[in-house]
Amino acid sequence: MNRFDNMGGEARLVYGDGEYSVVKQGSYVVCAVTGKNIPLDRLRYWSVDLQEAYATPEASLQRYRETQKD
């Protein structure tokens, strides 16, 4: 069991380069692309510029492509 197991609910984070800060305690964040819950101990992908989390590298790439200007 980790320190987030009993917190429940959605966490609020500030995403930085290589790390994030917890603003509101919780056990998960929601993927901005898929809508799936991501447990904090499995969170690996996010955008600093967009301040959003992604469940998979594919979701991260999809959002990157959606937000790039031609």
Quote the pLDDT of residue 69.
Answer: 76
Q: Are 22 and 7 in contact (CB under 8 A)?
A: no
Rounded Cα gap, residues 55 and 69, in angstroms: 23
Structural domain contains residue 4: no
Encoding tokens for residue 53? 């989390």
Quote the pLDDT of residue 4.
Answer: 47
Structural domain contains residue 5: no
Range of the domain at 59: 12-67
DSSP string, 2-47: -TTTTT-SB-EEEE-SS-EEEEE--SEEEBTTT--EEEGGG--EEE
Rounded Cα gap, residues 58 and 70, in angstroms: 20
Domain count, the chain: 1
Residues of the chain with pLDDT under 50: 1, 4
